[in-house]
Amino acid sequence: MTEADVVAELRDGMTIGIGGWGSRRKPMSLVREILRSGLRDLTVVSYGGPDVGLLCRAGKVSKVVTAFVSLDSIPLEPHYRAARQNGSIEAVELDEGMFLLGLQAAAWRVPFLPTRAGLGSDILRLMPEIKTVISPYDDGEELVAAPALSMDAALIHMNRADAAGNGQFLGEDLFMDDLFARAADRTYMSCEKIVATEELLSGATFHTLRISRLMTDGVVERPGGAHFTECAPDHQRDEDFQRRYAATAGSDEAWEEFRSEYLDVSEDEYQQRVRGAGGD
Amino acid sequence: MTEVTRAEVCVTAIAECFRGDGEILCNPIGNTPLVGGRLARSSFEPDLVITDGFYMLIADTPPVGETAERVIEAYNPYRSMFDILWHGKRHVMMGATQLDRYGNQNIGCIGDWRRPKAQLLGFRGAPGNTINHTTSYWVPKHTPKVFVESVDLVCGIGYDRARELGPIASRFHEIRRVVSNLGVFDFETEDNRMRLRSVHPGVTVGDVVEATGFELVVPEHVPESRLPDDAELRLIREVIDPNGLREAEVTG
């Protein structure tokens, strides 16, 4: 598939999950394709990074479900901050572990999973949709019922994949991408490179094969597809580019300039321009 | 050796937070806390388990800020971190934008959460950490804007919230210490209000009270925070933080 094929499957108002963590291994070429599209009114579910910031700034999002939105080396995502502070989005902000259980619940097709995380915190006071449950056993303990974070579609990015939709991560952490893949009705995976199935293990152990074709519905090959987020070992985070991106929250002019140079162009053109700009 | 700096007193006080913890994950967040945690492990609390700041548990003590050279003893991707913290063998030291007298912590936003004046980190892992295992806090700049009468958003829960939950739900809750650039604080009072445990050398009780936006419990006699001994100082300066990252974070 191409990025455009994937985005053609999405609709206004959908709930879209995005894999990765902060500014790490995000399916950015798919995010950029959404930015180029007419899609709007999306609910985004993400351990957020620039994916969330870009979609908020471009007006694609009506609701964000997250545990944080961070650029890692820049702790606060400036466009998400702006969206929260000007009230342009609705937010559901969960505990990181509660969010994990929400993904797991959706992946296992149960309505919630119980946890202690969240008890006593303002999550329960401010988000009345998050409820508690009483253990039916003798202990009778009250626990948070972390609600299933079900999605219409999930987008993930892997280092390698085969054409059938098996994915491989070569970095140090899969993050929760397998849970995103199962929590969604349909999952689209971009990757740095598509290889033949028998080549997947030519330079890695089988432990890296955590995304099976049971979990995916389409594969997009896009070298640099995670740019400017980290995608080790294929490429590190492009810190210079990330700083430029973050600075675009400073003024409308800066954003418009960034947008016309990097977002209102095709993905091929984007990749050429960021390589020309010294991005790796 | 040259004179002990305030940052080194803070590092030592942070290390003391982990005394007696034994074989648990010592998980301080931020450079100065990392130096303190590694000091505890390298000296009086050798069974502590530490991370490389990312996805590995490490057996050696590389300089803070450098991760290339390390002895990996276990793989701990983020999902496994939740297994550890829900299992309970973890003591985290987090930062705090705001803290109140019962140890409620805010890192999420300033103002009304529904439409914040300033969006900050969000809840991150604070609710789950504080209800599941021991937590301490590190505040590099002690002011009345941090130590507040009431926090704008309860991310990490304090003793009053834990008490409201009852003894069963709160049985794993412990806010052990708060270390700031001025002193050390605990909650070892009858109603778990924050108590001044020690002042750092060169700081008066009055300095601390003035920099605190709520009424602290101040014992009649407040000791001085201890200095690192020569062996600890050598560890801090030569092994754990040869790049001096601690000095960049702590002001007077």
Predicted local distance difference test score (pLDDT) of residue B171: 97
Using alpha carbons, select from A163, A153, A157, A210 the residue that is nearest to residue A186: A153
Residue in A21, A76, A117 closest to B120 by CB? A76
> What count of other Cβ atoms lies within 10 Å of the Cβ of residue B135?
27
By the CB < 8 Å criterion, does A100 face chain B? yes
| Count of structural domains, chain B | 1
Strand partners, B159: none
Q: Is residue B1 part of a domain?
A: no
Tell me the CATH architecture of domain A3-93+151-270. Answer: 3-Layer(aba) Sandwich (3.40)
Q: Is residue B148 part of a domain?
A: yes
Is the pLDDT confidence value at A243 over 50?
yes
* Pairing relationship of beta strands B195-199 and B56-58 according to DSSP bridges: unpaired
Question: In this complex, do B86 and A122 lie within 8 Å of one another by their Cβ atoms?
Answer: no
Q: What is the pLDDT of residue B2?
A: 82
DSSP 8-state secondary structure symbol assigned to residue A208: G
Task: Judge contact between A270 and A32, C-beta under 8 A.
Answer: yes
* Percent above pLDDT 90 for chain A: 98
Mutate: best of B78, B84, B173, partner A, most A CBs <10 A: B78
pLDDT of residue A279: 46
Min distance A193 CA to chain B CA atoms (Å)? 24
B216 to chain A, closest Cα gap in Å: 23
Element (H, E) at A156: strand A151-161
Check pLDDT > 50 for residue B194.
yes
Whether B77 sits inside 8 A of A80 (CB atoms) is no
In a domain, B76, yes or no: yes
What pairs with residue A142 in β-bridges? A134
Strand partners, A170: none
Cβ–Cβ gap A76/B77 under 8 Å: no
Contact yes or no for A68 and B122 at CB 8 A: yes
> Over chain A, what is the mean pLDDT?
97
Q: Which of B25, B40, B26 is nearest to B240 (CA)?
A: B40
Q: Is pLDDT at A280 greater than 60 in this prediction?
A: no
Q: Which two tokens stand for residue B7?
A: 């940052």
Q: What is the dihedral of CA B198, B204, B205, B211, to 10 degrees?
A: -100
Closest chain B C-alpha to A241 CA, distance in angstroms: 22
Contact A122 B113 (CB under 8 A): yes
At A276, the pLDDT band (50, 70, 90 cuts) reads confident
Q: What is the mean pLDDT of residues A89-108?
A: 98
Contacts with B107 (C-beta within 8 Å, 6 or more apart), sequence order: B94, B95, B96, B97, B120, B121, B122, B123, B124, B126, B155, B156
The domain limits of chain A are: 3-93+151-270, 112-147
Cβ within 8 Å, pair A95-B124: yes
The per-residue pLDDT for range A35-47, each reduced to its tens digit, is 999 999 999 999 9
pLDDT at B58 over 60: yes
Q: What are phi and psi of B19, to 5 degrees?
A: -60, 130
* pTM over 0.95, yes/no: yes
Residue B98 makes CB contacts below 8 A (sequence gap 6+) with: B105, B106, B110, B145, B146, B148, B151, B152
Ranges assigned E (strand) in B66-157: 72-75, 90-94, 98-99, 105-106, 109-110, 118-119, 134-139
> Does residue B250 belong to the interface with chain A, where contact is any CB pair within 8 Å?
no
Tell me how close the Cα of A269 comes to any Cα of chain B, in angstroms: 34
Of B114, B155, B172, the CB nearest to A121: B155
**Contact present, B108 and B123 (Cβ < 8 Å):** yes
Q: Which residues of A touch B128 (CB under 8 A)?
A: 95-98, 115-118
Is some CB atom of chain B closer than 8 A to the CB atom of A172?
Answer: yes
* Local structure of A122: helix, strand or coil: helix
Q: Is residue B115 part of a domain?
A: yes
Q: Which two tokens stand for residue B190?
A: 């009858």
Substitution target from A79, A80, A95 for chain B, most B beta carbons within 10 A: A95
Note the helical H segments in B60-204.
Answer: 78-87, 126-132, 159-165
Contact list in A for residue B55 (CB cut-off 8 A) is 172-173
* Inter-CA distances, B217 with A204, B162, B188, B220, Å: 58, 20, 10, 10
**Domain extent at residue B81:** 6-249
Of A21, A96, A123, the CB nearest to B125: A96
C-alpha distances in angstroms, B116 versus A46, A68, B95, B152, B227?
20, 15, 20, 10, 41
pLDDT by residue (tens digit) across A192-241? 999 999 999 999 999 999 999 999 999 999 999 999 999 999 999 999 99
Distance, in angstroms, between B159 CA and closest chain A CA? Answer: 10
CATH code of residue B129: 3.40.1080.10
Residue B13 reports pLDDT greater than 90: yes
Residues near A38 by beta carbon (within 8 Å), at least 6 away in sequence: none
Give me the half-sphere count of Cα atoms (radius 13 Å) on the Cβ side of residue A36.
Answer: 21
Going by their DSSP bridges, the two strands A151-161 and A142-147 should be labelled as: unpaired
Question: Residue A155 corresponds to which amino acid?
Answer: L
Distance from the A2 Cα atom to the nearest Cα atom in chain B, whole angstroms: 31
Complex ipTM: 0.95
Set of chain B residues whose Cβ sits within 8 Å of the Cβ of A76: 119-121
The residue among B52, B82, B98 with the most chain A CBs within 10 A of its CB, best to mutate, is B82
Contact between A101 and A115 (Cβ < 8 Å): yes
- Residue among A84, A115, A141 minimizing CB distance to B119: A84
The answer to whether A53 touches A79, Cβ cutoff 8 Å, is yes
What average pLDDT score do residues A248-273 get? 97
Interface contact A70-B121, CB threshold 8 A: yes
Averaged pLDDT for residues B164-193: 97
Distance (Å, whole) CA B182 – CA B162 = 27
Q: What is the pLDDT of residues B64-79, one digit of tens each?
A: 988 778 999 999 999 9
Model pLDDT, residue B1: 65
Dihedrals φ, ψ of A132, to 5°?
-105, 170
- pLDDT, residue A277, reads 58
Q: Which residues in A lie closer than 8 A to residue B125 (C-beta atoms)? A: 67, 95-97
Residue A53 near residue A32 (C-beta atoms within 8 A): no
Task: Tell me how many helices (H) and strands (E) chain B has.
Answer: 8, 13
Residue A259 DSSP symbol: I
Closest Cα of chain A to B229: distance in Å?
Answer: 34
- Helix H or strand E encompassing A16: strand A15-18
Q: Do A94 and B125 count as a contact with CB atoms less than 8 A apart? A: no
Q: Is A87 at the interface with chain B, CB within 8 A?
A: yes
Mean pLDDT taken over chain B: 96
Query: How is residue A18 written in tokens?
Result: 């995005």
The answer to whether B155 and B195 have CB atoms below 8 angstroms apart is no
* Residue B151: closest C-alpha in chain A: A122
End-to-end CA separation in angstroms for chain A: 24
| Partner-chain contact B127 A119, CB within 8 Å | yes
pLDDT digits (tens, 9 = 90+) for A179-196: 999 999 999 999 999 999
- A142 vs B: CB within 8 A: yes
Q: Please say if the pLDDT value at position A34 is more than 60.
A: yes
Taking CB atoms and an 8 Å cut-off, how many pairs form between chains A and B?
125
Which two tokens mark B166?
Answer: 């009852």
Q: What is the mean predicted confidence (pLDDT) over B179-207?
A: 98
